[in-house]
Amino acid sequence: MPIKTQSDLPAKEILENENIFVMDELRAIHQDIRPLNVLILNNMPVKQDTELQLLRALSNTPLQVDVTFMNVKSHVSQNTSASHLNKFYTTLDEIKGNKYDGMIVTGAPVEDIPFEQVDYWEEICEIFDWAGTHVTSTLHICWAAQAGLYHYYGIDKKLLPRKLFGVYEHRVENRKIPLVRGFDDFFLAPHSRHTETPSEAIHACSELKVLAESPQAGVYLAIAEGGRKIFVTGHPEYDRYSLNNEYIRDLNKGLPIQIPYNYYPDDDPGARPLLQWRSHSNNLYSNWLNYYVYQVTPYEL
């Protein structure tokens, strides 16, 4: 699938070197099709890394995707330059009148802060509510999944005894839902978080349907409103070294951090990490784009 981006987005060259078809704006103008319009609200601190991970994840279907990156205006990023944000990102005020086939809301490093104390919480809630009338399907990842479950259904998160950090096994719970079509009975996915939304509370909510769960990591995948809202509590978009980089970062900061679970061969941080979740991640994003975005949106948005 061709991914359409701005011609000078730094991730474009990296993706092209990986033999991923990236189409710039000039070529896209001459395509006689309507691409899927996908909005990505990127709350991660190092935005370029997440841009690359998500664009890579969206590149595995025959569909053409026109990606727009958005950030919140009520928070100043400390890890991404203002010039990058000004050049490649928009805000809700600038796109409020637009409609999108799909939206991805990323995680954020604020999970140990109560939702209402996050400095951009009101803006996040405004974006969630806006998406209800302007986006066909919204995919919430990690902290965004917790935030969405709290905002929509009042299910609060709780602090874990220690960070859930590593690659965990999950079981598919409901095969009749197209989002997990093609999944194996068990699959692996990365997690990196200090909090969780209690599994029993998710199961108790009649509006939510659990699709995959782990004995160690809890509910991984849940769906609501026929796929208009999808919640992923882990990080399927992570690349091979994402957990490794977080581990080294926390060690250098002197933070208490354990070796990522089920990640390094023989738990040796000096060894090359195993990439064990890429096929599941590709399947998840492809199914989302196909069954919950492409199949249900009209030709004219």
Q: Which positions are catalytic?
A: 142, 235, 237
Would you say 15 and 52 are in contact if contact means Cβ atoms under 8 Å apart? yes
The tokens for 10 are 């730094």
Q: Residue 167 and residue 192: Cα distance in Å, rounded?
A: 9
Q: Residue 69 and residue 280: Cα distance in Å, rounded?
A: 24
The tokens for 301 are 């948005």
Task: Look up residue 67 and give its DSSP letter.
Answer: E
Q: Which residues contact 114 (CB under 8 A, 6 or more apart)?
A: none
Of 36, 186, 47, 188, the C-alpha closest to 107 is 47
Helices (H), the chain: 10-17, 25-29, 47-57, 82-88, 92-95, 121-134, 143-153, 199-204, 242-252, 278-287
The tokens for 27 are 């070529």
Of 61, 105, 98, 106, the C-alpha closest to 289 is 61
Sort residue 267 into left (φ over 0), alpha (ψ -120 to 50) or beta.
left
Going 193 to 250 to 259 to 267, the CA torsion angle's sign is positive
Task: Say how many C-beta atoms besides its own lie within 10 A of residue 296's C-beta.
Answer: 13
